[in-house]
Amino acid sequence: MDIFEKIKAERPIVHSITNKVTMNDCANIILALKASAIMAMDASEVAEVTSVSKALCINIGTPDINSAEAMVNAGKKANELGIPVLLDPVGAGISQLRKDILKKLMNEVKISVIRGNYSEIKAVVEGTKATIDADLKDKINENNIEECVAFAKKASLITGAVVAITGETDIITDGQTAYCVHNGHEMMKYVTGAGCMTSAATSAFMAVSDDMLKAALYGVCSMGICGEIAMERMKPGCGNATYRNYIIDAAFNLTNEQFERMAKYETR
Amino acid sequence: MDIFEKIKAERPIVHSITNKVTMNDCANIILALKASAIMAMDASEVAEVTSVSKALCINIGTPDINSAEAMVNAGKKANELGIPVLLDPVGAGISQLRKDILKKLMNEVKISVIRGNYSEIKAVVEGTKATIDADLKDKINENNIEECVAFAKKASLITGAVVAITGETDIITDGQTAYCVHNGHEMMKYVTGAGCMTSAATSAFMAVSDDMLKAALYGVCSMGICGEIAMERMKPGCGNATYRNYIIDAAFNLTNEQFERMAKYETR
Amino acid sequence: MDIFEKIKAERPIVHSITNKVTMNDCANIILALKASAIMAMDASEVAEVTSVSKALCINIGTPDINSAEAMVNAGKKANELGIPVLLDPVGAGISQLRKDILKKLMNEVKISVIRGNYSEIKAVVEGTKATIDADLKDKINENNIEECVAFAKKASLITGAVVAITGETDIITDGQTAYCVHNGHEMMKYVTGAGCMTSAATSAFMAVSDDMLKAALYGVCSMGICGEIAMERMKPGCGNATYRNYIIDAAFNLTNEQFERMAKYETR
């Protein structure tokens, strides 16, 4: 049974403590992949909700004190029960609140996968007090790919998590193996929550997999592929709202056969 | 004037204290039916907002302490003014917080209609300290329909509310009469908030009706019919995001004539 | 370079402290115009987020104590840095909480543009303790346009802000010049957040302009034009959900050439 069929067969619950802006789209992308979505956010109940889940997705896009506490509570419960945890450090470094939340999360919760853009991943690493000498541009492309891969591997070793840096090219690494993914479409940057949805989708794969590197690869590649498929359906007059719907639609119809045919990645 | 025309003529305000994941869809389904939507959530203002409304929809899908207090405040004000209250006990029983909120709501607020799946309704009844000996599966279908109807009637008598249990077959009862509804499409389970939207739509019918059983029947049937109409518009490549939009679109165009032609229900 | 091209070239960050119901649509309309959207809401971090932004959009549609404090904090920071602030006084006057928030905002923050319907603008002015003798209907149309323009100009002079009153006809004024806008479509009233999106779009124009009157005119006219373009794409079976997507799509494709061809406004 391939991983897409496995999600359909098991319908795992994915608990997301997520961004208020994009939570509806995140729930629908999880459902599109045939997993179940639950989005409890209050510190007083999240541990119980995590307990019945198969993956936990933490997104700090619209943080407050209560949700920060909720993230730690849910994360600790996930660790206790061996449930994988994804961290999406949206806007990491933009405020002291986000720095504090990330520091707390990195200190108190074992994270399985971290997915963000280059500057967000950098801010996460800095929160661990480790140092990475790097001053890369946010745009990962063919010109700086070697340097970015080296950065990603170091970030993975420091954090102990699979690191997925998304950009023009995406890099996914467990510190040893690194995949460079060339799927996606630049139209995706005009959809709010394209990154959040990538994290949500990745969580769905994590919920049925023991291999976090593979789950992250499938999550990131799948979203890129959906971005490409969605683009093919666009007609004159269509814009980013229709495109958002088409991305989720594509996830709904995505099969392993399609994935294997369209996935574009190489190992570095 | 039929009930659809009545909503159009009166444009009643429906106040929803609802799920943060699905609130946009809930507002749009209320507008689709030509009622007005308002979604104040803070405990300090909800009573005033309820005062200018014709129905109150309470959904506990993303609860916290403040929203729990808000639900009680709004509910009491609604009771005081004779405004009907719908309760959607999303995820009832999954956490102590939700149990506490439900217990408080059931003790302090008179609810007109409760809409949920079987296990949610069961959790609500348990919160009243009444006991129902039932261990039905969550899937209501032709094989266990008798048992489910008996359960629903008991739940209605215990809670004093019209009870709408939604599933493959839906059951709506005031403890005496029970309607079994056969509308809907299984694709609806891949749309986040399909249940929340059913509750929101039901509230719009409650806002212009004195007959809560009929309002609940119209709400549940209408959503099922919209799910069927939406399915007819689906083309290759479409998925759950497009389907969600088509459901709301169908509600926008729904007429009483269409309702009477498509509604499939029987009395038990 | 026209103002649409200017947004594309600069990709300014627009910080919105907005309505939880409509925040996803607001983010997507900002992205549709090619600006960047960020939506931090917590009082403890909003000032830092405003600091990296080019415009601040404050919408009181789903207020609570924390967000009220956040609005003031962000507004003060914006004033300090010369960043323009838009206020959307959703539901102004409906509760004491909203009155208190508006009074505080009007006293402590210098607002550049206020956009709302007639009764909302009236409630804002009353919060300043100024008095306007006016008892207009909420529907601005050809019959009461003179009176409404006089009211809008007075409201602008009292608040010191550009005032945009939206209705069947929209009025935008800095107290001296008044534009009456005749774009839009009545279908827009069935889309939740059409007003919020108008405010969000206006903020994107404010982010690249020194002329707040022009920015407000472009925001209001653009949304009306998008409503008209969206209507042309509607087919049988379409409803308010599809229409919402088409409005955002239209904003994505909107050009200055299209704007100049379709904008319908006169000076009074």
Chain B positions in Cβ-Cβ contact with residue C193 (cut-off 8 Å): 24, 27
Q: Touching check for B252 and chain C: CB below 8 Å? A: yes
pLDDT of residue B76: 98
- C62·B45 Cβ contact <8 A: no
Residue B131 confidence (pLDDT) above 70: no
Q: Touching check for B20 and chain A: CB below 8 Å? A: yes
Sign of dihedral through CA atoms A41, A45, A50, A52? negative
| pLDDT tens readout for residues C142-188 | 788 999 999 999 999 999 999 999 988 999 999 999 999 999 999 99
Q: Touching check for A246 and chain B: CB below 8 Å? A: yes
| pLDDT tens readout for residues C217-267 | 999 999 999 999 999 999 999 999 999 999 999 999 999 999 999 999 999
- C240·B233 Cβ contact <8 A: no
Per-residue confidence at A239, pLDDT binned at 50, 70, 90?
A: very high
pLDDT of residue C132: 55
Suggest the residue from B67, B245, B254, B258 to mutate for an interface test with chain C (most C CBs closer than 10 A): B245
Looking at residue C188, its amino acid is M
Q: Touching check for A241 and chain C: CB below 8 Å? A: yes
* Closest in A62, A242, A244 to C40, CB measured: A62
| CA atoms of B50 and A168, how far apart (whole Å) | 49
From edge to edge, which strands make up the β-sheet containing A36-38?
A36-38, A13-17, A55-59, A85-88, A113-116, A162-165, A170-173, A178-181, A265-267
Per-residue confidence at B83, pLDDT binned at 50, 70, 90?
A: very high
* Closest in C37, C42, C253 to A192, CB measured: C37
Per-residue confidence at B126, pLDDT binned at 50, 70, 90?
A: confident
Mean pLDDT score of chain C: 94
Residue B129 confidence (pLDDT) above 70: no
Q: What is the pLDDT averaged over residues A70-75?
A: 98
Q: Looking at the complex, report in whole angstroms how far the Cα of residue B257 sits from the nearest Cα belonging to chain A.
A: 31
Residue A129 confidence (pLDDT) above 70: no
Q: Where do we find the tokens 């995820």?
A: B91
Residue B139 confidence (pLDDT) above 80: no
* Closest in A20, A21, A241 to C245, CB measured: A241
Chain C positions in Cβ-Cβ contact with residue A193 (cut-off 8 Å): 24, 27
Nearest CA in chain B to A28: B192
> Pseudo-torsion of CA B14, B18, B21, B25, nearest 10°?
-10
Q: What is the pLDDT averaged over residues C71-83?
A: 98
| CA atoms of C58 and C88, how far apart (whole Å) | 6
pLDDT of residue C143: 80
Q: Touching check for C32 and chain A: CB below 8 Å? A: yes
| CA atoms of A99 and A91, how far apart (whole Å) | 10
| pLDDT tens readout for residues A161-179 | 999 999 889 999 999 999 9
For the entire predicted model, the pTM comes to 0.96
pLDDT of residue A259: 98
| CA atoms of C243 and B249, how far apart (whole Å) | 9
| pLDDT tens readout for residues B153-194 | 999 999 999 999 998 899 999 999 999 999 999 999 999 999
Q: Looking at the complex, report in whole angstroms how far the Cα of residue C239 sits from the nearest Cα belonging to chain A.
A: 14
Q: Identify whether the C-beta of residue B30 lies closer than 8 Å to the C-beta of residue B208.
A: no
Size of interface A-C (CB pairs under 8 A): 95
HEC string for chain C: CCHHHHHHHHCCEEEEECCCCCHHHHHHHHHHCCCEEECCCCCCCHHHHHHCCCEEEEECCCCCHHHHHHHHHHHHHHHHHCCCEEEECCCCCCCHHHHHHHHHHHHHCCCCEEEECHHHHHHHHHHCCCCCCCCCCCCCCCCCHHHHHHHHHHHHHHHCCEEEECCCCEEEECCCCEEEECCCCHHHHHCCCHHHHHHHHHHHHHCCCCCHHHHHHHHHHHHHHHHHHHHHHCCCCCCHHHHHHHHHHHHHHCCHHHHHHHCCEEEC
pLDDT of residue C135: 54
Chain B positions in Cβ-Cβ contact with residue C190 (cut-off 8 Å): 31-32, 34, 252
| CA atoms of C126 and C92, how far apart (whole Å) | 10
| CA atoms of C206 and B38, how far apart (whole Å) | 28
pLDDT of residue A140: 75
Chain B positions in Cβ-Cβ contact with residue A27 (cut-off 8 Å): 21, 192-193
Q: In chain C, positions 201-240, which contact chain B (CB-CB < 8 Å)? A: 237-240
Residue C47 confidence (pLDDT) above 80: yes
Nearest CA in chain B to C90: B38
Looking at residue B54, its amino acid is K
Q: Looking at the complex, report in whole angstroms how far the Cα of residue B94 sits from the nearest Cα belonging to chain C.
A: 25
pLDDT of residue B124: 92
Residue B66 confidence (pLDDT) above 90: no
Nearest CA in chain C to A190: C31
Nearest to B212 by CA among B3, B1, B26, B46: B3
pLDDT over 90 for what percent of chain A?
88
pLDDT of residue A136: 58
pLDDT top residue among B140 and B10: B10
Q: What is the pLDDT averaged over residues A57-69?
A: 92
Q: Report helix, strand and coil shares of chain A as percent, to nearest 5.
A: 50, 15, 35
pLDDT top residue among C36 and C66: C36
Nearest CA in chain C to B16: C21
- B96·A45 Cβ contact <8 A: yes
pLDDT of residue A141: 75
Mean pLDDT score of chain A: 94
Chain A adjacent subunits, 3+ CB pairs under 8 A: B, C
Residue A118 confidence (pLDDT) above 60: yes
Q: By three-state DSSP, how is residue A2 classified? A: coil
Q: In chain C, positions 57-96, which contact chain B (CB-CB < 8 Å)? A: 61-65, 91, 94-96
pLDDT of residue A130: 59
- A37·B64 Cβ contact <8 A: no
Residue A255 confidence (pLDDT) above 80: yes
Residue B231 confidence (pLDDT) above 70: yes
| CA atoms of C84 and B221, how far apart (whole Å) | 49
Size of interface B-C (CB pairs under 8 A): 96
* β-strand pairing of C55-59 with C85-88: parallel
Q: Identify whether the C-beta of residue C67 lies closer than 8 Å to the C-beta of residue C98.
A: no
| CA atoms of B15 and B52, how far apart (whole Å) | 9
| pLDDT tens readout for residues C112-154 | 999 999 999 999 988 766 655 555 566 777 788 999 999 999 9
